Amino acid sequence: MPTVADAIFTHARTIEQGQAFYADIKGRAAALGRNPDDIVILPGFSITIGDTDEDARAIDRELRRIDQSFDQALAEFGRAFGWHDFRQYDLDAPFPVQALEHARSSFYTQAKAITEQAASRGLTLRETVEHQRDQFTSPFVGSAKTVADEIERWFEGRAFDGINVHAGHPSQFRRFTQEVVPLLQARGLFRREYEHTTLRGHLGLPIPANRRQDSASADERPAGVTGARAQQSAVLEAAHNAR
């Protein structure tokens, strides 16, 4: 990934995990002679906003309970594993660690963490799915201020360069855009308007050399772009996947 990637979509349960992955990718990129800021790390997170932190946690629990039965959770469990179908396995047998191979071109970091936890704890497939469905709580659940504070903490702590926002309900995405985004804008962490015409430009990424033009420079950038990290400090990206 550090050799050719421009952006990496990943997953982290804690800021420490995010920082470790961030440092690893950026360090390997530098060792390969690349500018580490020319790769952006963009993990995906579920975000739930309430009037208070307690209210947000209650909303999060209710949305997860309503939206996902065990059968649905089992069907969706394979997402991190390249949508591998886990329904083919015995639910009460040890977790099929061999399934990790299917995640090589998918969300490998997340799938590896799930597999290692299941193996170390001796969990069955059923127990692993239930744990993932019921136990995991996103670090971005709380009041608008709490969520904005946590996004800032992860960004300033170099756990990510941007965030892909998953909202479990359209009303939650509205709350994110109407309540959290203004707080991020006031802190200089989210753009107020677009300055470029391409995603590459918005992310502050360099324009790759044109293979058909020997004179093209790999370091050429859109006008005004000074590097992905510099750009990200003012344009923290958010995309949503509202069900």
**Alpha-carbon span 195 to 236, nearest angstrom:** 13
Helix (H), strand (E), coil (C) string for 85-114: CHHHCCCCCECCHHHHHHHCCCCHHHHHHH
Q: What is the mean pLDDT of residues 213-236?
A: 47
pLDDT at 230 over 50: no
Instruction: Find how far residue 92's CA is from the centre of its chain.
Output: 31
Q: What is the pLDDT of residues 131-190, one digit of tens each?
A: 887 666 789 999 999 999 999 999 999 999 999 998 878 999 999 999 999 999 999 999
Please give the DSSP secondary-structure letter assigned to residue 124: B
pLDDT of residue 233: 44
1-47+138-243 carries CATH number 3.20.20.30: yes
Q: Residue 122: CB partners within 8 Å, gap ≥ 6?
A: 94
Identify the band that residue 73 occupies on the pLDDT scale cut at 50, 70 and 90: confident
pLDDT at 228 over 80: no
Question: Hey, what amino acid is at 47?
Answer: I
- 10-14 LR contacts (CB < 8 Å, sep 24+): 10/41, 10/42, 10/43, 10/44, 10/107, 10/109, 10/110, 11/43, 11/44, 11/80, 11/107, 11/109, 11/110, 11/113, 12/43, 12/109, 12/159, 12/160, 13/113, 13/136, 13/139, 14/139
Q: How deeply is 161 buried, as exposed, middle or buried, from its count of CB atoms within 10 A (0-12, 13-18, 19+)?
A: buried
Question: Hey, what amino acid is at 130?
Answer: E
Cα angle 46-50-56, degrees, rounded to a multiple of 5 = 60
Closest CA to 47 of 134, 156, 188, 173: 173
- Are 112 and 103 within 8 A, CB to CB? yes
Q: What is the mean pLDDT of residues 98-117?
A: 91
- Per DSSP, the residues of 212-230 read T-TT--TT---TT---HHH
pLDDT at 225 over 50: no
Which residues partner with 46 through β-bridges? Answer: 166
Cα angle 96-97-98, degrees, rounded to a multiple of 5 = 90
Identify the band that residue 120 occupies on the pLDDT scale cut at 50, 70 and 90: very high
pLDDT at 63 over 60: yes
Q: What is the mean pLDDT of residues 207-234?
A: 54
pLDDT at 72 over 90: no
Structure tokens at 101: 């191979």
Identify the band that residue 65 occupies on the pLDDT scale cut at 50, 70 and 90: confident
Please list the residue range(s) of the chain that carry CATH number 3.20.20.30. 1-47+138-243
Q: What share of the chain is helix, strand, coil (3-state, %, to 5)?
A: 50, 10, 40
Distances (CA, A) of 92 to 78, 89, 126, 128: 17, 9, 6, 10
